[in-house]
Each structure stands twice: as C-alpha cells, then as structure tokens.
Amino acid sequence: MEIGELGKFAEDLARGAGEILRGNYGRRQSIHYKGEINLVTEVDRQSEAYIMGRIRSAFPDHGILSEESPEIRSPSPYRWIVDPLDGTTNYAHNYPCFCVSIAVERKGELLAGAVFDPLLEESFTATPGKGAFRNGERIHVSATENLRQSLLATGFAYDVKTSRDNNLEFFREFVFTGQAIRRDGSAALDMCYLACGRFDGFWELKLRPWDTAAGLLILTEAGGVATRLDGSPYDIHQPDILASNGRIHGQMLAVVEKTKGEPP
C-alpha cells in the first residue's frame, strides 16, 4: 500500500473510532483505574478493539503498539501506534476535549498520522513531505515571534502528586514569560492545535509514543519544531518534548534552562 493510501486508511480508522466515542459520550461509563488517578473506560476498549480489528484484517503482518493492550510485535517493518481515546479523564467527566490518535511507521519512520476530534468533527492528517491538513485544508503553525505574546499548552503526568519531576516549576516560569497557558488534557490535540496556529508552543513530560506519534508528524509537516527539553533531538520514544512554531523555540528553551538552573 502506498503512503497516501496508508494515510487515508489511518484517517478512516480514526473517524470510525471517533464515532464510537461520540456515540457513547455523555453516557454512564464503567471506569477502571490503572493507578490512583489513571483511569480507563469501557469506551477506550471498544475504540481500541475496533481499530485493532481493522488493522489486523487489512494488515495481518503489521505490528501494533496501543495504549490499552500489550504490544503486538511483528517482523514486519510496519507498526501502527494507537491511542484509542486520548483524553480519557476528560471523556469520563463529560469534558469535551478528547480524540483518537493513529500513526503508522516503517522502520521507525512515521509514514502517516491522523488525529480526529469527534465532537468538533476536526480531522488532522499528515504524510511525509505532503504537508498537514485539517478537514482537507492545508494548515501551518503561527507566525508569533515573541514568547510574551504566545499562547502555550502543557499537561501533567498521572504521578504529579507524588513525583518531584512534576512540571510545576516549568509551568510557573512559563506563566510569567508567556501570554497564557492552557492545560486541556490531550497531548495529541495540543500538538494539532500547535500545528494549525491555535497554540504557539507546547511542552510536556512523561509522554508515551501513542501520545505524540501522529501529532509529531502533523506538527512538523505544518512547519513546527520539536526537541527534547534540553534541545536535543526528539523522537516518540523520548519522555519529554518541547515543541513550537519554530520562531519562539529558542526563547522556550532558554526558560527551561533557566528553570533547571534554579535551586528547588
């Protein structure tokens, strides 16, 4: 299958799973806890079963890495990276900010990414070298050049209450140096919003590949930049990310470096 066809398949998968999320939104959910505050709903599993079933049917030899199930390993160079419901806590509380995130890679290279918000009916997609799109329209990062005028986004890991590495120091410093910060609970949507110019910068700690795989390709194809917090190259297997429109990246890195240098 050509890369373009993989992209169309990924988007179709995300839209199909999104219909499952939308159809169950607002209903009473059966909630299970993977930790003190890290939860999973029955709809996570329904969405995942739909996605994995279609992938296994169309590409039985491909690997699959999904948030809610053990990884399906394969000698195939292709691997799907799936978050069947990014924003589970939001979904469980009927807070309307969540999505489906699906990417496919070949030998570690991202070939297609699709993020679908079923409530706003926004589909973000990208394939390498072809640009990024929202509902078929080309998108680009913002032109904001100064951190002081920038709207930023971040998130907090589930161990924020118990870990010293909890992002609170960075949050405090960016509150004073940026224009404002949003914390909406979906890293995939945060990266897509950065890609289409709604946000100017984004950072987060303790992420997993399914949080960022699709969003990373969409962001970079929209002209954005992503590194680790120390400025070194980022890939989806790194836990921390600092992403921006490119124009404020150095300013964000300077804030991070200053914060790291301050005594606790």
User: Which sequence spans correspond to the domains of the chain?
Assistant: 3-139, 147-261
Q: What are phi and psi of 6, to 5 degrees?
A: -60, -40
8 Å CB contact between 189 and 122: no
Check residue 2 and give its pLDDT. Answer: 87
Tell me which range, 24-38, 50-64, 147-161, is most confidently predicted by mean pLDDT: 50-64
DSSP 106-144: ETTEEEEEEEEETTTTEEEEE-TTS-EEETTEEE-----
- CA–CA separation, 152 and 181 (whole Å): 5
The fold adopted by the segment(s) 147-261 is D-Maltodextrin-Binding Protein; domain 2 (3.40.190)
The answer to whether residue 38 scores a pLDDT higher than 60 is: no
Instruction: From 7, 9, 212, select the one nearest 112 (Cα to Cα).
Output: 7
Give which of 63, 71, 69, 53 is closest to 107, Cα–Cα: 63
pLDDT score recorded for residue 159: 72
Architecture of domain 3-139: 2-Layer Sandwich (3.30)
The helix-helix angle for 249-261 and 168-177 (nearest 10°) equals 130
Q: Per-residue pLDDT for 39 more than 60?
A: no
The yes-or-no verdict on residue 73 having pLDDT over 70 is: yes
Q: What is the mean pLDDT of residues 156-173?
A: 85
Instruction: Judge whether residue 37 has pLDDT over 60.
Output: no
* Cα–Cα–Cα angle for 18, 244, 223, rounded to 5 degrees: 75
Q: Residue range 196-211: average pLDDT? A: 97
Lowest mean pLDDT among 40-44, 169-173, 255-259: 40-44
Q: Which band of pLDDT confidence, cut at 50, 70 and 90, is reported for residue 5?
A: very high
- Contact criterion met (CB below 8 Å) for 122 and 225: no
Q: Which of 46, 35, 189, 63 is CA-nearest to residue 117?
A: 189
Does position 194 have pLDDT exceeding 70, yes or no? yes
Place of tokens 């806590």: 89
| Residue-wise pLDDT tens digits, 216-229 | 999 999 999 999 99
At residue 59, the 3 state secondary structure works out as coil
Q: Is the dihedral of CA 175, 176, 177, 179 positive or negative?
A: positive
Rounded distance between C-alpha atoms, residue 73 and residue 174, angstroms: 40
Average pLDDT, stretch 57-84?
A: 95
